[in-house]
């Protein structure tokens, strides 16, 4: 019996050792999985909430969100997200967070719109996604930042308005989940021409008053560093925006972006990857009355994945021209009307664009056990 007891104890000890090694291996794999090749963010445009302007006039618009069009329903139904056209339910935003996080997206860059009054800012349906993100039960899976959409109709203007806008941004910028570059919260300005040295100085002053070290301000396109634009990036790069309805190759769009990737130690560049461009659903009287332009219908998940890979390759070759955090921005998560989207849709129910992104940012060896075994998002959305 004494010999049997010793043998039994030895076996127990061996089992404990094996279990310990397995646990250590799992922890090591998890740590490895937490290190992506780039910190990828996706622009989030929320035209998929609120009340449509034609709700009371057209049957098709009864339950439509603000930016849905009849042309999109008739000619481009494959762009409908797998959760439906509306994204203004908490469970839908939580599902999107799971999907994005499972496939290597580290943060959303939410479009934010200026209005003269706090009430108008609060009630803008285009802020719905951001508001629901901040209340999501799983929000800790991702970070976020703001893309200030200060284009026509939402220009900020003078320094006084920039000061007022900065006050509205401070609660976001102080959030521990907010994206930082060089220790400072990142704010992306869509239209840098709308900025001015006094306004951007007011933004920096407001940040320091709030206890922050300052703000990392990135200009889309050109932005003079002397005005306060410390970084550059793009929202997207389009060709032939109003050049007439002409079909072009996605490869042309890729080449235009790659040509634009250029930064410096003084003003680093965040490479932007456009997932697609085809705004036909918004053109003409059955759209948003936009003028016809070029469209690029031959995009594929493989081509998109190669595009992302080329952005990472560029950062590898030119580390001095980009951020030390290795940020990459994707246009977009959900620009369904403009053809720039990687969220799963009826035309892409299995999420091939997300899988292509993941295959580049997180190699198969980096994939987490939860994803291999069926992610929460996959189970919830059944795709």
CA–CA separation, 177 and 75 (whole Å) = 39
* 323 has a pLDDT exceeding 60: yes
- Give the pLDDT score at 35: 82
CA–CA separation, 220 and 194 (whole Å) = 11
- Give the pLDDT score at 54: 96
Work out whether the CA dihedral 175, 336, 39, 267 comes out positive or negative.
negative
- Give the pLDDT score at 210: 96
β-strand pairing of 334-335 with 340-341:
antiparallel
Task: State the average pLDDT over residues 351-364.
Answer: 92
CA distances from 143 to 5, 41, 180, 182, 267 (A): 54, 9, 10, 16, 23
Supply the mean pLDDT for the chain: 89
Task: State the average pLDDT over residues 209-215.
Answer: 97
Packing angle, helices 352-361 and 90-102, rounded to 10: 40
Task: State the average pLDDT over residues 81-93.
Answer: 98
Tokens found for residue 180: 């930082």
Strand partners, 39: 327
Buried b (16+ CB within 10 A) or exposed e, 253-282: bbeebbeebebeeebbbbbbbbbbbbbbbb
- Give the pLDDT score at 372: 36
CA–CA separation, 253 and 157 (whole Å) = 32
- Give the pLDDT score at 259: 97
Q: Residue 32, Cβ neighbours under 10 Å: how many?
A: 13
Q: Is 17 left (phi over 0), alpha (psi -120 to 50) or beta?
A: alpha
CA–CA separation, 159 and 369 (whole Å) = 50
CA–CA separation, 226 and 206 (whole Å) = 19
Phi and psi, residue 192, nearest 5°: -65, -25
Task: List, for residues 135-185, the tens digit of each pLDDT value.
Answer: 999 999 999 999 999 999 999 999 999 999 999 999 999 999 999 999 999
Task: State the average pLDDT over residues 360-365.
Answer: 75
- Give the pLDDT score at 40: 98
Q: Which of 383, 375, 382 is nearest to 102 (CA)?
A: 375
* 232 has a pLDDT exceeding 90: yes
Q: Which residue has the higher pLDDT, 375 or 281?
A: 281
pTM: 0.88
Q: Considering the domain 38-381 in this protein, what is its CATH number?
A: 3.20.20.80
Task: Give me the residue spans of the domains in the chain.
Answer: 38-381
* 32 has a pLDDT exceeding 50: no
Q: CB–CB of 350/378 below 8 Å? A: no
- Give the pLDDT score at 33: 53
DSSP structure string for 25-42: HHHHHHHHHT--SSEEEE
Which run of H or of E encompasses 300?
Answer: none
- Give the pLDDT score at 361: 97
Which run of H or of E encompasses 49?
Answer: none
Per-residue confidence band for 14, with pLDDT thresholds at 50, 70 and 90: very low
User: What contacts 163, CB < 8 A, 6 or more positions away?
Assistant: 199, 202, 203, 206
β-strand pairing of 272-274 with 327-331:
parallel
* 364 has a pLDDT exceeding 60: no
């Amino acid at each position: 019996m004494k010999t049997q007891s010793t043998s039994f104890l030895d076996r127990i000890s061996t089992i404990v050792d094996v279990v310990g090694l397995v646990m250590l291996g799992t922890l090591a794999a998890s740590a490895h999985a937490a290190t992506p090749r780039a910190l990828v963010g996706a622009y989030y445009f929320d035209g998929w909430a609120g009340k449509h302007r034609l709700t009371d006039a057209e049957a098709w618009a009864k339950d439509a969100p603000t930016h849905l069009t009849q042309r999109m329903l008739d000619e481009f139904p494959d762009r409908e997200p797998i959760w439906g056209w509306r994204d203004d339910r908490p469970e839908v935003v939580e599902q999107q967070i799971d999907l994005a996080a499972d496939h290597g997206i580290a943060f959303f860059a939410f479009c934010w719109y200026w209005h003269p009054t706090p009430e108008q800012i609060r009630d803008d349906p285009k802020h719905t996604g951001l508001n629901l993100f901040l209340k999501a039960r799983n929000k800790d899976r991702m970070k976020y930042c703001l893309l200030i959409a200060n284009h026509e109709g939402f220009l900020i203007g003078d320094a006084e308005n920039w000061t007022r806008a900065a006050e509205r941004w401070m609660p976001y910028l102080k959030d521990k989940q907010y994206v930082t570059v060089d220790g400072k919260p990142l704010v992306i300005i869509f239209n840098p021409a709308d900025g001015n040295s006094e306004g951007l100085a007011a933004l920096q002053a407001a940040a320091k008053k709030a206890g922050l070290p300052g703000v990392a301000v990135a200009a889309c396109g050109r932005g003079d560093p002397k005005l306060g634009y410390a970084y550059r990036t793009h929202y997207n790069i389009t060709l032939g925006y109003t050049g007439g309805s002409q079909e072009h190759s996605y490869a042309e769009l890729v080449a235009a972006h790659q040509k634009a990737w250029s930064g410096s130690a003084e003003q680093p560049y965040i490479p932007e990857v456009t997932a697609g461009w085809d705004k036909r659903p918004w053109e003409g009287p059955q759209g948003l009355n936009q003028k016809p332009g070029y469209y690029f219908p031959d995009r594929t998940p493989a081509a998109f994945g190669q595009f992302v890979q080329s952005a990472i390759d560029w950062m590898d070759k030119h580390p001095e021209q980009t951020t030390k955090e290795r940020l990459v921005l994707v246009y977009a998560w959900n620009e369904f009307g403009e053809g720039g989207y990687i969220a799963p849709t009826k035309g892409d129910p299995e999420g091939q664009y997300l899988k292509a992104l993941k295959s580049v940012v997180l190699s198969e060896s980096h994939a987490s056990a939860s994803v291999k075994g069926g992610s929460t998002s996959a189970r919830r959305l059944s795709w």
